Structure formats: C-alpha cells, structure tokens
Amino acid sequence: MSIIETDLDTVLDVEQSKVLGALRNNDLENEAIYIFREVAAQFERPVLLFSGGKDSITLVRLAQKAFYPAKIPFPLMHIDTGHNFPETIAFRDKLVQELDLELIVRNVQDSIDQGKVVEESGKYASRNILQTTTLLDAIEEFKFDACIGGARRDEEKARAKERIFSVRDDFGQWDEKNQRPEVFDMLNGQIELGQNVRVFPISNWTELDVWSYIQKEAIEIPSIYFAHKRKIFLRDGFIWSAEDDVVFRAEDEVVEERMVRFRTVGDMSCTAAVLSDADTIEKVVGEIRASKISERGARIDDKRSEAAMEKRKQQGYF
C-alpha cells in the first residue's frame, strides 16, 4: 500500500487526510503546475527567466513540483543588470547548484559595451529598461520559443489584462489589443517561427499569496528580503541603499543606518527598501498582510508615468 503523508497547516481527521484535495486545496498551485506542464509539452525550447527574486524562486519550486521525480526540463536564464544585490547572485548560484539546473546568464553590461544600448545618467539612472535589449538578443541567440516569467496580474494595472500565454512578435512586442482569448483551461501555444510566448504561471497570485506560499513551503529566499541593518539615505520619500555605488547619491543626501528589508529585489538602482523589523518569514507575512503600500510603489521606474509599464511592455519588457 502506498504511504500516506500529510503536511497540513490545519489539522484534519484521518479520513480526510487521505484526500489530496482536502490536504492542499490550493487552486493557484494546481493551476501553476498545469501551466508548467503545458509549456513543457507545447514548446521546444522553453526557458525560465530567473531574476533571483521571490517570484522567480517560487516559480522554480512550482516547476520542481510539476515534473517530479524528473528534473526541470528547461534551463533558467538570468538577465544580469550588473546592479544586482550581491546576496541575490550568491543565492542564485547556490540554488542552481543544489537543484542541478542549467543556468544561462546574459549581461546588460555587454549590451552597453556593444553599443546596443546607452547607459542612463543622472539621479534616476537605472538599467531596468536596458534589460529589454539584452533579453530580446538572448531569446534570439538561443531560439527560445517560450519564456516563463513570474509576473502577476495584481502587480500593476496594465498587467491585469496580460494572458497566461502571451504571444510576442519577432520584435518581442506585445499587442495588447489583439490578444488570444483564453477560455476554460485551454492554452493555445501555437506560434510562427520567430515568435515567442511569454508564460505567466503565477498570473493569478497576489503578493500575499506568494509570501504565504513561501512560508508554507519553507522556501529559502535571499537574505535581503528580511530586516537587516543597512546604510541608507532618503529621497522622494523612498529609502535607498547607500552600501553600493550603484545608486546615484547627491552630496547633500545624508546616509544613516536603519533596519530595513526589500520587498522586491530588482535592479538596485530602482529598488527601494522599507523600514522593518521583520526578520523571519512569519513576521514578513504578518507585515505584508497589514501593509498598505503596494509592492510596485517601491519601484521608482513605474512612477515615472502612469502609463509607464504599458509602454515598456509594448516594447518587449518582461
């Protein structure tokens, strides 16, 4: 007879604990696993875009679940802005090694050196937008036909209409007015040569869903997500890291040391911290539950204009 195991967060009686659905009852997880399997079945060269952030780490866990006991049947790719938190990179390398995954890294710095993009300058200089070129080049280089990403529809208004399978033309562009309807569970991944599909398995998750999942699954995440002492300075009501020379800091911007954590771990130059004492996952989830600042509020590049995200997406931004 098979072994029956339970790992409940609630206590269930024995009879009920035999039923998988009653154990987990997580529609979002089931949906994400279903999507991963569709990707593996429908595409020849999928890749998981890995940023080192909590959303892409969650994706890796979901992919493990989708294909167990086999290995994840596609590589991870990191588009490295060169402005990553060192903790993120160390974490990435450890994860890849532990799970015996293939990792591809492509650098924004190379795109700059090749003269394909120009480094921004000034107070709000960021490499976030430059990533797009490096990404599109890498897609072409490896002939990827499906790029799996951790974007969620609740992150931002323009994302609310993104499909789970979102077709990009050969220029990586998104035509939001001409999207394929997605009915029931059926995902249509049929594309022309040269096109690719962006896939969003956790489309329907909210930030809190991700955090709760990380807690429940005891998934390891980079240390900067937890409260730590850091040298910071204030600008425009945001808290910036002053420990690295990536973030532009004017002479009159005063550095102080505070307990902070990061809610996203994107490009250091446009990722702000929040004041926090939450140094465990339980405390972080508690804080998020109570918090009233939306996650992207901590990303300065979206603030540039209300339609910022939509514009970047049309150009092929992830």
> Under the rule (CB under 8 A), what is the footprint of another protein?
1-5, 7, 18-31, 33-34, 37-38, 40-41, 64-71, 153-154, 157-158, 160-161, 167, 176-177, 179-186, 188, 190-192, 203-204, 206, 208-209, 212, 291-294, 297, 306-307, 310
- What is the closest distance, in whole angstroms, from the C-beta atom of residue 134 to another protein in the complex? 26
- What is the closest distance, in whole angstroms, from the C-beta atom of residue 248 to another protein in the complex? 23
Distance from C-alpha of 74 to C-alpha of 72, rounded to nearest angstrom: 6
Alpha carbon distances (Å) from 77 to 24, 57, 102, 103, 244: 30, 12, 8, 6, 25
In the bound state with another protein, the residue whose beta carbon lies nearer, of 80 and 207, is 207
Closest listed residue to residue 266, CA positions, set 123, 82, 134, 93: 82
**What tokens were used for 99?**
């799970």
In the bound state with another protein, the residue whose beta carbon lies nearer, of 80 and 155, is 155
Q: Which residues contact 245 (CB under 8 A, 6 or more apart)?
A: none
In the bound state with another protein, the residue whose beta carbon lies nearer, of 25 and 114, is 25
**Sequence-ordered strand ranges (E) for 73-174:** 76-80, 103-107, 146-148, 165-168
In the bound state with another protein, the residue whose beta carbon lies nearer, of 22 and 90, is 22
Dihedral sign from CA coordinates of 138, 143, 148, 153: positive
Distance from C-alpha of 266 to C-alpha of 271, rounded to nearest angstrom: 6
Alpha carbon distances (Å) from 184 to 31, 40, 181, 187: 12, 19, 10, 9
In the bound state with another protein, the residue whose beta carbon lies nearer, of 123 and 161, is 161
- What is the closest distance, in whole angstroms, from the C-beta atom of residue 219 to another protein in the complex? 13
- What is the closest distance, in whole angstroms, from the C-beta atom of residue 103 to another protein in the complex? 20
- What is the closest distance, in whole angstroms, from the C-beta atom of residue 69 to another protein in the complex? 5
In the bound state with another protein, the residue whose beta carbon lies nearer, of 25 and 280, is 25
- What is the closest distance, in whole angstroms, from the C-beta atom of residue 256 to another protein in the complex? 24
In the bound state with another protein, the residue whose beta carbon lies nearer, of 42 and 88, is 42
Q: Residues 62-75, buried b or exposed e (16+ Cβ, 10 A)?
A: bbbebbeeeebebb
What is the DSSP secondary structure assignment for residue 26, as one 8-state letter? -
Amino acid found at 275:
L
- What is the closest distance, in whole angstroms, from the C-beta atom of residue 27 to another protein in the complex? 5
